[in-house]
Chains A and B, each alone.
Chain A
Amino acid sequence: MSEPILRVERLRVGFDHPQGVVQAVDDVSFALAPGERFGLAGESGSGKSTLALAMLRMIKPPGRIAAGEVWLAGRRLADLDEEGIRALRLAGIALVPQGSMNSLNPVLRIGRQITDAFADHGQRLGRDEQQRRVSALLTAVGLSENVSRMYPHELSGGMKQRACIAIAISLRPKVIIADEPTSALDVVVQRQVMATLARVQRDLGAAVILIGHDIGLMAQFVDRLGVMYAGRLVEVAPMGEIITNPRHPYTRALIAALPSLERRGALAGIPGLAPLLRNLPPGCAFHPRCPQATDRCRIEKPMARDVGGAQVACHLA
């Protein structure tokens, strides 16, 4: 692998809580190659979105990065001052937020929301130049130039999500984090938005981190997948490998929970509930729901190790 563009090392994010610290992200490490598409999958509450925010250094109290480091293009995020990190967001690492419906400002035209980025990053552009760039960005995400003069309520869900992608790529970032970008859209529009994201990502040569819980979508989009459970990365492997040979029992359960179009009546949920992060079971956090749990799983926390091209945190792998 070439020099990674983004490196996350032993990252821990904790939230202070009256009953102790809640570890939302617990000892997570991974690296992202330039131009790579990486997926982060897991149930709600598994820490995927918190991890995304930590990579943007956007964790707010009572949360804090308790340990570990994030490196972006050779720079350690923790070393930057407020101004430095502000300059890096959007220009170095950008977020396509979950539910674009609510992340656009309802009283500003789309064009203005895109040019905001230029102004905030100290790019003084003439009116014509601004207009030209906004048009180019809108065209890149498959929207008409007229959208520039529209308000968010005049756009459909898919168009709003594309407008958010246009904002995210406005300063040509090296890493785009897309946090469930299509969770509110129907399948046809979902495919359009994902195709748009794939196209701009290729044109920019940026790496993408796609966050979500739909393994089918992951299989169609990402090169490599990280599976999160209770704040930990329990399996990281090339996507094809995960589908054909999932090694962690939780990964297997996630894949089985995907409704199949091949076989009817094959719908299998994951028994039990995701554990409360402030009250994790001892040993492997998945053991109460795991069909193969042994005594060792109940006592000893499994560490991630290499198993044939995959990193797996399971005693049984």
Chain B
Amino acid sequence: MIPLIEAVDVSKRFAAGLGREGTLALAGLSLAIHAEKPSVIAVVGESGSGKTTLARLLLGLAEPSGGEIRYRGRDLKRLDRDERRAFRHDVQAVFQDPYGVYNPFYRVDHVLTTPLRCFRLAQTRAHARQLIGEALRSVGLQPEEILGRFPHQLSGGQRQRVMVARALLLKPKLIVADEPVSMVDASLRATILGSLRQLTDEHGISILYITHDLATAYQVSDSILVLYRAHLAEAGAVERVVTAPRHPYTQLLVSAIPRAHATADWLEQEDDPRRNGLSPTAAGCCFAERCPIASPACVAAPPGLYRTEPHRAVACVQYRDHPSLPPGDPEPVLSA
């Protein structure tokens, strides 16, 4: 089957101008999202890991410096008018900031009626009202409490759910959600993530959930990709990756999550970069300088990607005895 959206060895480098090297935001990553197998895929990493770049590339908001993004097998850059329209219909976005995405002068109805008009989804006004009502109700909002209001009259959580409802109106195949809950309260996070999860379970919509929060990723997603400084560190079934991380970076991330049941040494395990005395090289593993178990071999050559289990791939030399996969392409373990 041809995937709905496919990233084929995509990389992105932001130019610095005048012969300077620029910043590598994403190094050769491959990922396929299949419409017939809806799931939630989490992309996790710290700021600067390249996760938002990946989202922008998949949404067609940025062009890759290398590799291709394909929509139903066609390079995104070469879509004709109708295909581009279909792409815009099938792939929707929910962004981080539920305050910045609204025009304060329009009622919130505007963000809901615009897509209906652009894609001619409603035949009559009554039909449009009905579609909007259904979409709002399926994210747990009451239409009468929302419609006719201005953005400032809604809470952050309500606004973010209206954005999810907007995405849902178009009955897309994929929603790219870039940090959808990082600006809302802990108590509301669960509700919004619950509505996202429902879209997959009940409406068959795949979700790419981009976050720095491993704990929520664990709760809502099926599989996970962990990125570190533009490179894939670990990928696979979320259950395995989060409960028994194998890459030293994933292990660091998991140990840094503050748990409700106090662990005596949470504050003491301060991670001190550059303690191991290895100086990073462009050729070696990008995590080497922070890695507690790094050896000189780590800075000499980039780590391969090894399939440690059927449902997991790790980019770390300590697993070199396992079968290797093409670098940056965890597809076999995600689709297995």
Contacts and interface: CB of A to CB of B under 8 A. Distances in A.
A267 B219 contact: yes
The interface size bin for chain A is 35 or more
Contact of B214 (A187, A221, A267): A187
Interface stretch (B29-37, B130-138, B250-258): B250-258
A267 B220 contact: yes
Contact of A195 (B156, B252, B260, B268): B268
B271 A191 contact: yes
Interface in A221-263: 221, 239-240, 243, 253-255, 257-261
B252 A243 contact: no
A194 interface: yes
B259 A186 contact: no
Interface string A169-212: 00000000000000000111111101100100000000000000
A27 interface: no
Interface in B108-147: none
B274 to A, nearest CB: 12
Interface in B24-62: 46-47
B267 A198 contact: yes
B190 A255 contact: no
Interface in B211-248: 212-216, 218-220, 239, 242-243
Contact of A188 (B190, B220, B267, B271): B271
A259 B190 contact: yes
Interface residues of B, number: 44
B93 to A, nearest CB: 22
B252 A259 contact: no
A97 interface: no
Contacts of B47: 157, 186
A268 interface: yes
B259 A191 contact: no
Contact of B187 (A43, A186, A190, A217): A43
Tell me if B's interface is mostly helix, strand, loop or mixed: helix
A115 to B, nearest CB: 28
A267 B213 CA distance: 14
A219 interface: yes
Contact of A269 (B46, B190, B257): B190
A188 B243 contact: no
A215 B194 contact: no
A43 B189 CA distance: 11
Contacts of A265: 219
Interface string A129-169: 00000000000000000000000000001000000000000
Given A44-B156, A219-B258, A220-B259, A259 B219 contact: yes
Nearest to B254: A261
Contacts of B256: 187-188, 190-191
A219 B252 contact: no
A215 B267 CA distance: 15
Contact of B259 (A239, A261, A268): A261
Nearest to A213: B186
A94 B219 CA distance: 38
Nearest to B45: A186
Contacts of B252: 188
Contacts of B186: 43, 213-215, 254, 257-258
B218 A219 contact: no
A131 to B, nearest CB: 25
A259 B215 contact: yes
A186 B242 CA distance: 16
Given A191-B266, A192-B270, A269-B194, A261 B187 contact: no
A253 B187 contact: yes
Nearest to A271: B191
B58 to A, nearest CB: 22
A299 interface: no
Nearest to B190: A269
Interface string B176-220: 000000000111111111100000000000000000111110111
A36 B198 CA distance: 43
Nearest to B270: A195
A269 to B, nearest CB: 3
Contacts of B212: 186-187
13 contacts: A43-B187, A44-B156, A186-B47, A188-B253, A191-B267, A215-B186, A216-B257, A216-B258, A219-B261, A243-B262, A257-B190, A270-B188, A274-B155
Interface of B: 46-47, 155-158, 185-194, 212-216, 218-220, 239, 242-243, 252-254, 256-263, 266-271
